[in-house]
Amino acid sequence: PLLAKRGQINIDNNQDNIKAYYVPVERPEHIQAQRIQLPVYAEEQQIMEAISENPVVVLSGETGSGKTTQVPQFLLEAGYGDASSTNPGIIGITQPRRVAAISMAHRVAEELGNFGHTVAHQVRFDTTVSNTTRVKFMTEGVLLRELANDLLLTKYSVIIADEAHERSLNTDILLGVLSRVVRLRMKLSTENPEKHRPLRLIIMSATLRVDDFVKNPRLFKVPPPVINVQSRQHPVRVHFNRRTPAPGQHVSEAIRKVAKIHRRLPDGGILVFLTGQAEITYMCRQLQKQFPTVSDASFASGKPGTANGMQTHVEDEDIDIGDCDAFTDDNELHDDFGSDSEEEEDIVVGGSDDTDDKSIAEERQLLLSENLKTAVDSDEIRPLHVLPLYSMLPAEQQLKVFAPPPPGSRLCVVATNVAETSITIPGIRYVVDAGMVKEKAYDSQTQVQSFEVGWTSQASANQRMGRAGRTGPGHCYRLFSSAVFNDQFTLFSEPEVLRMPIEGVVLQMKAMNMDNVTNFPFPTPPRREALQKSERLLTWLGALDAKGRVTDLGRLMAVFPVAPRFAKMLIIGQQHDCLPYVIAIVAALSVGDPFIKEFNIGSDMSEGVDSLSFEEEVAVSEARNLTNAEMAAKEQRRAQRHKYWDMQAKLAGADPTSDILKWLTAIGAFEYSGGSDDVCQQYFVRFKAMNEIRKLRRQLTTLVQMYCPGANVSMDPQMPPPTQLQQSVLRQIILAGFMDQVAIRGDIAGYHNPDGDAATKRRGLHAEPYMTMWSDEPVYIHPESSIYIAARNIGMPQAIVYSELQRTSRLWAKAVTVVTPKWLATIGQPLCTFGNPLTYPLPKYNDARDEMTCYVEPRFGPRSWL
């Protein structure tokens, strides 16, 4: 495309300022009309001046003020990314979430009209980057990987680190590295201005604590300027529940509240915050049952598992949905915006003004004058247009939330905290907040990683509340009491770097030659202990030498966009033609358990609740009085569940030795039978997961071909089943990746079972305790594991490796693989030997001995396995 003459001056009629447009963007009229409404738009001059005068700028502003969509456009218009300008490098924007990277790139392309083709996105499996790209939206992981190859980021003239307040692990690492890259580029550009240009860094965040970045001399010696974008936030009235619902009741409470809002209150979208896909799916279905929809075919479709991209077959009885008709009290009907004296306490928050009665009165007046039709006046209830929003939802389903709801209906979006700051849904007036969040939690003592549902922070609850005040005065219904909010909510969420295993980023840093990780300018430094643990694991895996420097193997491992242990598995996978299987296994481990869990007992609504035995489940439900229709539905689910377990048994094989090999069989079978959505139904696997596994396999295959000399592996997703020998090799490769996650049966490891597990026996479950190297607390094979099921006949194996531990009432080992104790001495050698200086040869499988060998004969130290 032709560029306008440089220096051409336009007068912007909407503002009093004069801007130099380098790039003649012609935007669609309706887009331009929307843009000029955005608070960020009014600040263009100030923002651009700050950026041109400072290497680092922090931009904070209310969610929805236009930061993500507008700032890249300002830069583009100012000539950034234009090869013939003084800032030829492209504009990079990082996002913590894939969803946001893709949908924001779409939106900005749309807004840029004739320059739309200059916008691209790049996420792990998917890129639209081409040689016309000047604005690149990407996930943080993508940029971190680019940094490993080009520490100077020579391709870029500016990096926008968006959503920095989320404090994801990658954001923190990225900011640490970028603070150094900015300094380096600055130095080089003063020394050699012909060859180097400075790199600009813009840190964007919602209106949350930015001091960790700004007042942090480790990160930036000179504190960067902070621009606060003021936005027109309307007052939001906060209604706390008087009583906090009992644990597990928040979904039914949310359903009740939405039903009530829809019946009673004037027009305006409803946004509900829940914790995860299962809850969201359940709630959407309940709301659709209660309220008519505008003949939305995708919802009405009877096809199980695919309606609106959601998985169905939720166990209805898991949740007490409460009695939605209990709200027909006449007094309430006539007091639409009054406090529900019985159950709510009200507070008005936000807005430009104070929070006194006057603003409430004004608000009421405003609402009255709008003369909005309320559902109360007519017997007929308007349709409710219910949409789910969570990260596993296909992209095109996610984009639906931006479209206006069908005429005459009310929008109701049921979302995870993706709608908290990354995605702004238009037209929201009511927020219903369960106040909870599902977060990855990690116990560095036991190495237990799990998803835990808990209260969110005050800061994030306030963000959620703010979503109601975007278009006009709004209401936020908090399904918990103000006492809980004040006493039990932390002020801010804890940065991820304090919560997550960090061996991946430690390896990345070491591969960038940052040997002394403790000196790294973390916005919040990780715990010493976590750093030590990571370095130790990396040493065991052979990625670091005894002095903590990266080895050749470590450098090679850093190339793969997977956890270090998986990278190790890939690198040793090249024997006995196992590589295609190892790639598939690593892809599956990275994507996560592909099986649909909803057929499964108890695990659906409540990851975190012990699985009941099938018999137990039947007994529980039979004890209830069920109607015939309920019985029929139950019967159908039971049949479905039987099919599920039959399929699991079939996939696990006659002599199950590994849940991960079961995953492999599912992948193989899926690819052989065409890889369609229907095939997924047949195997009870998630279509989206299978697609991601396929994409990751392709990507890993390419990388293996590039970096592992001699690797001869085909791109064909179809592969024959592994032979017996290959299966044995694969289990040993899995062991090599998880050598620190071995568990030995309690009786062999000398564990004294205090009460013989009486409780377990009473429940008809047979469970053997297993010991790990991490603590004296036993772990148990999860009852869903094929190993557990097979053990009914062949007994519990002596040694296993688990790829995941989950803590509920006890520690459950999941995704289990049976290993032979004699393998441990060789493959787990770094854990078994001590004394002699270690070398880290890659394990090689030895036919004669039916095991992998290392070159150093093991000697057992105090921490030995056997």
Site mask, Mg ion, residues 49-88, x = CB under 5 A?
Answer: ------------------xx--------------------
| Cα dist from 274 to 280, 344, 348, 423, whole Å | 7, 20, 23, 15
Shortest spacing between CB 233 and ligand ADP, in angstroms: 12
Cβ of 137: how many Cβ atoms within 10 Å?
Answer: 31
State how far Cα 633 lies from the chain centre: 33
- Per DSSP, 224 falls in state P
Q: Is 87 in the site for ligand ADP (CB under 6 A)?
A: no
Q: Output 209 or 650, the one with its CB closest to ligand ADP.
A: 209
Nearest to 116 by CA among 215, 27, 19: 27
Residue 6 interacting entry, from ligand ADP, Mg ion, none, C-beta within 5 to 8 Å by type: none
Q: Output 103 or 648, the one with its CB closest to Mg ion.
A: 103
Sole binder of ligand ADP in the list 65, 170, 290, 462 (CB under 6 A): 65
Q: 214 burial class (0-12, 13-18, 19+ CB within 10 angstroms)?
A: middle
* Distance (Å, whole) CA 543 – CA 173: 20
- Cβ atoms of 122 and 131 closer than 8 Å: no
Q: Which of residues 368-407 bind ligand ADP (CB under 6 A)?
A: 402
Q: Is 107 in the site for ligand ADP (CB under 6 A)?
A: yes
Q: Output 38 or 47, the one with its CB closest to ligand ADP.
A: 38
Nearest to 731 by CA among 648, 643, 824: 824
Nearest to 506 by CA among 479, 478, 525, 483: 525
Residue 107 interacting entry, from Mg ion, ligand ADP, none, C-beta within 5 to 8 Å by type: ligand ADP
Q: Output 68 or 275, the one with its CB closest to Mg ion.
A: 68
Q: Output 103 or 657, the one with its CB closest to ligand ADP.
A: 103
Residue 786 interacting entry, from ligand ADP, Mg ion, none, C-beta within 5 to 8 Å by type: none
Binding segment toward ligand ADP, per CB under 6 A, in 61-69, 131-139, 374-382, 664-672: 61-69
Residue 69 interacting entry, from Mg ion, ligand ADP, none, C-beta within 5 to 8 Å by type: ligand ADP
Tokens standing for 465? 């509340």
- Per DSSP, 544 falls in state B
Shortest spacing between CB 504 and ligand ADP, in angstroms: 28
Residue 89 interacting entry, from Mg ion, ligand ADP, none, C-beta within 5 to 8 Å by type: none
Residue 474 interacting entry, from ligand ADP, Mg ion, none, C-beta within 5 to 8 Å by type: none
Shortest spacing between CB 564 and ligand ADP, in angstroms: 33
Q: Which of residues 489-528 bind ligand ADP (CB under 6 A)?
A: none
| Cα dist from 83 to 52, 76, 80, 133, 157, whole Å | 18, 11, 8, 11, 10
The residue behind tokens 């050698």 is 829
Sole binder of ligand ADP in the list 47, 57, 60, 61 (CB under 6 A): 61
**Residues 6 or more apart in contact with residue 209 via CB below 8 angstroms:** 165, 459, 492
Shortest spacing between CB 589 and Mg ion, in angstroms: 32
Q: Which residues pair with 475 in a beta bridge?
A: 237, 430
* Distance (Å, whole) CA 614 – CA 382: 42
Q: What are phi and psi of 466, to 5 degrees?
A: -55, -25
Q: Output 403 or 759, the one with its CB closest to ligand ADP.
A: 403
Binding segment toward ligand ADP, per CB under 6 A, in 57-65, 169-177, 451-459, 754-762: 57-65
Sole binder of ligand ADP in the list 244, 277, 424, 603 (CB under 6 A): 424
Q: Output 77 or 593, the one with its CB closest to ligand ADP.
A: 77
Binding segment toward ligand ADP, per CB under 6 A, in 63-71, 288-296, 472-480, 760-768: 63-71
Residue 426 interacting entry, from ligand ADP, Mg ion, none, C-beta within 5 to 8 Å by type: ligand ADP
Sole binder of ligand ADP in the list 51, 56, 59, 67 (CB under 6 A): 67
* Alpha-carbon torsion, ordered 299, 416, 260, 360, to 10 deg: -140
Q: Output 64 or 830, the one with its CB closest to ligand ADP.
A: 64
Site mask, Mg ion, residues 569-608, x = CB under 5 A?
Answer: ----------------------------------------
Residue 602 interacting entry, from Mg ion, ligand ADP, none, C-beta within 5 to 8 Å by type: none
Q: Output 125 or 402, the one with its CB closest to ligand ADP.
A: 402
Residue 262 interacting entry, from ligand ADP, Mg ion, none, C-beta within 5 to 8 Å by type: none
Sole binder of ligand ADP in the list 44, 66, 235, 828 (CB under 6 A): 66
Residue 248 interacting entry, from ligand ADP, Mg ion, none, C-beta within 5 to 8 Å by type: none
The residue behind tokens 């209604």 is 239
The H or E element containing residue 59 is strand 56-61
Q: 362 burial class (0-12, 13-18, 19+ CB within 10 angstroms)?
A: middle
Q: Output 206 or 507, the one with its CB closest to Mg ion.
A: 206
Sole binder of ligand ADP in the list 113, 225, 426, 592 (CB under 6 A): 426
Shortest spacing between CB 738 and ligand ADP, in angstroms: 40
Q: Which residues pair with 412 in a beta bridge?
A: 270, 386
- Helices within 489-527 (DSSP H only): 503-511
Sole binder of ligand ADP in the list 25, 42, 51, 69 (CB under 6 A): 69
| Cα dist from 682 to 603, 651, 678, whole Å | 20, 12, 6
**Residues 6 or more apart in contact with residue 691 via CB below 8 angstroms:** none
The residue behind tokens 């049949």 is 639
* Distance (Å, whole) CA 682 – CA 643: 9
- Cβ atoms of 93 and 245 closer than 8 Å: no
Q: Which of residues 535-574 bind ligand ADP (CB under 6 A)?
A: none
Shortest spacing between CB 138 and ligand ADP, in angstroms: 16
State how far Cα 423 lies from the chain centre: 14
Sheet strands side by side (includes 269-273): 344-349, 236-241, 474-478, 428-433, 269-273, 410-415, 384-389
The H or E element containing residue 704 is helix 687-707
Residue 405 interacting entry, from Mg ion, ligand ADP, none, C-beta within 5 to 8 Å by type: none
> How many helices, marked H, and strands, marked E, lie in the chain?
32, 26
Shortest spacing between CB 71 and Mg ion, in angstroms: 9
Q: What is the DSSP string of 637-681?
A: HHHHHHHHHHHHHHHH-SS--BHHHHHHHHHHHHHHTT--HHHHH
Which residues would be at the binding site for Mg ion (CB under 5 A)?
A: 67-68
Which residues would be at the binding site for ligand ADP (CB under 6 A)?
A: 38, 61, 63-69, 103, 107, 402, 424, 426
